[in-house]
């Protein structure tokens, strides 16, 4: 009797899992041919991105810069990167995004991010490493690719699948159903968790090509990461703590450089100015 009840519950959960897998798609990254496991629909991912963006900007501690010296270069670079994205293999998604960019006045935070749906934030603290608009393009190209390549959705899907697997095990072993809570947590905070090394590398590669297409010198990406490595001595800044292993990263960027340079030579060149200095 007891066994039958447990077996029934296990079968029900397993069916749910199979339905879930069936609904889910497997996509292929158009640049790297890497296959992606995606459980959540794009609409939900974009909804989560928009929600996280509103939350981040409504935080009373967040100061939004209105200083044209800080805002204008970021907007200029964003505009060109977005235009390049709309001509890229991600054209359809880039067209569907409601893009927005915010400069956050925080000279101590070396960070930038782009959320699903095309919401971008750049912190003034990253200006010294970005140095000029080429460097800013390297950073923003990278971040925008995380959103375009659906890395957030993939990460949430992995968490959800792992947790569903745990749930099956939970039922089979008749343990307490804690897995569901974990799955909910992964969905809720998924958009702001750090990316895996594979996602980082993919964002570096496609971001490099995207910045080059937008008319920014891709060679600055190498210099940028060298500056990042330099400034991380004595404790990593935020941007680096979620973007690890800069030696490998610089080597990879050099390997991809000929392809990026070929694109840069074909592109109409962007105007480059230095970024404003901060304290
Ligand atoms: Zn990244």
Taking only the tens place, the pLDDT of each residue in 14-37 is 666 555 555 567 788 999 988 888
Q: Is the pLDDT of residue 158 over 60?
A: yes
- Distance (Å) from CA 146 to ligand 1 centroid: 7
Question: And the tokens for 265?
Answer: 């030579």
Please tell me the distance from the alpha carbon of residue 231 to that of residue 214, in angstroms, as a whole number: 27
Percent of the chain at pLDDT exceeding 90: 55
Pairing assessment for the beta strands 119-123 and 112-115 based on DSSP bridges: antiparallel
User: What's the pLDDT at 254?
Assistant: 97
199 or 139, higher pLDDT? 139
Return the higher-pLDDT residue of 106 and 12: 106
CA of 183 to the centre of ligand 1 (A): 23
Looking at every residue in the chain, the average pLDDT score rounds to: 84
Reported as a pLDDT band with limits 50, 70 and 90, residue 188 is: very low
pLDDT at residue number 184? 44
- C-alpha 200 to ligand 1 mean position (Å): 5
Stretch 144-151: mean pLDDT, rounded? 94
Report H helices in the chain: 2-23, 42-58, 68-85, 91-96, 127-130, 133-148, 151-173, 179-189, 197-213, 219-231, 238-241, 246-266
SS3 state of residue 26: strand
Question: Which residue, among 155, 156, 157, 175, has the nearest Cα to 166 in the 3D structure?
Answer: 175
| pLDDT for residue 241 | 52
Which tokens belong to 250? 């610089």
Predicted pLDDT at 190: 38
Under 8 Å CB-to-CB from 68, ≥6 apart: which residues? Answer: none
Tell me the average pLDDT across 101-114.
94
Residue 206 to residue 201: CA distance in whole angstroms: 9
For range 169-190, the mean pLDDT: 50
Average pLDDT of the residues in 246-258: 92
- The DSSP code sequence of 45-84 is HHHHHHHHHHHHHH-TT--B---HHHHHHHHHHHHHHHHH
Average pLDDT estimate for 204-223: 97
pLDDT at 185 over 70: no
Q: How is the chain split into domains, by residue range?
A: 2-38+152-174, 42-149+192-266
Give the pLDDT score at 180: 47
* Residue carrying the six token digits 């907007």: 75
Q: Which helix (H) or strand (E) holds 118?
A: none
Average pLDDT over residues 164-180: 58
Q: Which positions are catalytic?
A: 143
pLDDT score of 67 more than 80: yes
The widest CA-to-CA distance across the chain, in whole angstroms, is 75
- SS3 state of residue 249: helix
Say which range, 37-51, 78-92, 171-185, has the weakest mean pLDDT.
Answer: 171-185
Query: Sign of torsion, CA 101 54 42 207?
Result: positive
Count other Cβ atoms within 10 Å, centred on residue 12. Answer: 11
Q: For residue 189, what pLDDT band results from cuts at 50, 70 and 90?
A: very low
Does the pLDDT of residue 267 top 80, yes or no?
A: yes
| pLDDT attached to residue 229 | 85
Residue 179 to residues 32, 169, 174, 175, Cα–Cα distance (Å):
33, 10, 12, 10
Q: How far is the CA of 195 from the centre of ligand 1 (A)?
A: 6
Instruction: Show the tokens assigned to 236.
Output: 């990593």
Q: Give 231's pLDDT tier (boundaries 50, 70, 90).
A: confident
Q: How far is the CA of 4 from the centre of ligand 1 (A)?
A: 48
β 35-38/112-115 pair status: unpaired
Nearest residue to 85 via CA among 69, 70, 96: 96
Indicate the length of the chain as a whole number. Answer: 279
Q: How far is CA 56 from the centre of its chain?
A: 15
Q: What is the mean pLDDT of residues 90-107?
A: 97
Q: Which of 242, 148, 250, 241 is nearest to 204 (CA)?
A: 250
Binning pLDDT at 50, 70 and 90, where does residue 126 land? very high
């Amino acid at each position: 009797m007891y066994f039958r009840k447990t077996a029934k519950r296990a079968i029900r959960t397993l069916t749910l899992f199979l339905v879930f897998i069936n609904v889910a798609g497997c996509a292929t990254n158009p640049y790297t041919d890497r296959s992606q496991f995606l459980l959540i629909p794009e609409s939900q991912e974009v909804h989560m991105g928009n929600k996280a963006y509103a939350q981040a900007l409504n935080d009373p501690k967040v100061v939004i810069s209105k200083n044209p010296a800080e805002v204008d270069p970021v907007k200029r670079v964003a505009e060109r990167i977005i235009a390049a994205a709309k001509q890229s293999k991600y054209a359809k998604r880039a067209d569907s995004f409601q893009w927005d960019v915010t400069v956050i006045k925080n000279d101590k935070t070396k960070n930038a991010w782009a959320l699903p749906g095309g919401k971008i934030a750049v912190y003034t603290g990253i200006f010294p490493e970005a140095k000029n608009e080429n460097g800013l393009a390297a950073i923003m190209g990278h971040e925008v690719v995380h959103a375009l390549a659906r890395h957030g959705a993939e990460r949430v899907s992995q968490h959800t699948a792992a947790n569903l697997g745990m749930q099956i095990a939970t039922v089979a072993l008749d343990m307490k159903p804690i897995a569901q809570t974990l799955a909910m947590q992964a969905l809720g905070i998924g958009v702001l968790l750090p990316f895996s090394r594979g996602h980082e590398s993919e964002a570096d590669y496609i971001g490099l090509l995207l910045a080059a297409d937008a008319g920014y010198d891709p060679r600055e990406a190498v210099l940028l990461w060298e500056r990042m490595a330099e400034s991380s001595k004595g404790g990593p800044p935020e941007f680096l703590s979620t973007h690890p292993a800069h030696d490998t990263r610089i080597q990879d960027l050099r390997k991809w450089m000929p392809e990026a340079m070929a694109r840069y030579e074909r592109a109409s060149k962007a105007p480059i100015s230095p970024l404003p200095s901060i304290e």
